[in-house]
Chains A and B, each alone.
Chain A
Amino acid sequence: MHTRVPESKAELDGLFTELYRSHLRDVYSYSYYRVGNHHDAEDLTEQTFLQAYRHFERALRESNGRPLRPWLIRIAHNLAANFYRDRSRKPESALEDADVISAPHTTESLVEGREELRAILAGVQQLPNDRREALIMRFALGMDNREIARALGRTDGATKVLLHRAIRQLQGIVSDEVAEEAK
């Protein structure tokens, strides 16, 4: 969403509605993979948009026409951090009823494929926070390096390194798990 600062409250609300409709799925996906269950993901999504509404005009002014998705995801990121701090909770180790796991499959190769996906999801939850978040933003939300950098408050270069290390670490975790199961 690239836009200028609106001149009226109605225009501001209209732009916010547009932002909300365009990115509800992004914020919900991010929240879901951060907190690991639908109930808390709904809470987090709701709080993110209410917070975004409060600061929307300033964000528009300061964005200089750049897309607002990284700003929105940064709000969700900060709220998720508070969520764990306030409730002294950690992300749940297993994601509840993830579609990739519950999807029906008919052939042996597909079953193997699903197990690999299950191992990947479990591995993502074992990564350090910043690496896990970068992977969620890249693969669940399809954000590019620049967007992820803005959402995490890092440089483009640091983000590229972060993503590379996250993928390598995850590959290691999944390989170890597969080797362990084969024993």
Chain B
Amino acid sequence: MSAGATDFESLLREALSPVDPPADLALRLEQTLVSLTELAQEELEAWELSAMRDPRNWARPVAAAVVGAGAGTALVALRVRSRHRSRKQQSANFFDLAERTLRDVAQEARRVMQR
């Protein structure tokens, strides 16, 4: 390699120096990832408690555990979270909200597992 080429590569390395991300981006991203994990856990717990009241639903927590064990959790959590407000508005009380959340999680979990 010629000296000219080496010099040019040094300049190129200097021109394309790494760019530090803004501090608030790192913070925001970490919060998003943590809340995704927590949300998935909360939704699954609500799902399990509610489903246990009706034996016909006992298969659902098993499906939740399968989804919860993989990275598909994030996808389910993202989609379920996006509809949280509308579920809350439609619900008469906590148990109604839990039932609606359960149905929503079950639907999304089935979609993720069918992919």
Residue ranges of A at the interface with B (Cβ–Cβ < 8 Å)? 9, 12-13, 16-17, 20, 24-26, 28-29, 32-33, 38, 41-42, 45-46, 49-50, 53-58, 99-100, 113, 116-117, 120-121, 124, 135-136, 139-141, 167, 170-171
- B22–A38 touching, CB < 8 Å: yes
- B16–A33 touching, CB < 8 Å: yes
Nearest residue (CB) in B for A26 is B18
- A50–B69 touching, CB < 8 Å: no
Bound complex: CA A38 to CA B69 (Å)? 35
Cβ-based interface call for B26 (8 A): yes
**Interchain nearest-CB distance for B45 vs A (Å):** 14
Chain B residues with Cβ below 8 Å from A170 are 12
Chain B residues with Cβ below 8 Å from A121 are 15-16
- B9–A140 touching, CB < 8 Å: no
A124 touching B16 in the complex, CB below 8 Å, given contacts A50-B32, A171-B8: yes
Contact mask for chain B residues 8-40; partner A; CB cutoff 8 A; 1 contact, 0 none: 110111111111111001101110110011000
Can you sample 6 A-B contacts with CB below 8 Å? A41-B19, A53-B36, A54-B72, A121-B15, A167-B12, A171-B8
Cβ-based interface call for B73 (8 A): yes
Chain B residues with Cβ below 8 Å from A141 are 18
A57 touching B18 in the complex, CB below 8 Å, given contacts A16-B33, A17-B33, A171-B8: no
Chain B residues with Cβ below 8 Å from A26 are 18
- B71–A46 touching, CB < 8 Å: no
- A116–B25 touching, CB < 8 Å: no
Q: Assign chain B's interface to a size class.
A: 20 to 34
A54 touching B74 in the complex, CB below 8 Å, given contacts A20-B29, A20-B33, A46-B28: yes
- A139–B25 touching, CB < 8 Å: no
Contact mask for chain B residues 86-101; partner A; CB cutoff 8 A; 1 contact, 0 none: 0000000000000000
B22's contact among A17, A42, A167, by CB below 8 Å, is which? Answer: A42
B15's contact among A38, A45, A53, A120, by CB below 8 Å, is which? Answer: A120
- B11–A32 touching, CB < 8 Å: no
Chain B residues with Cβ below 8 Å from A41 are 19, 21
B16's contact among A56, A58, A135, by CB below 8 Å, is which? Answer: A135
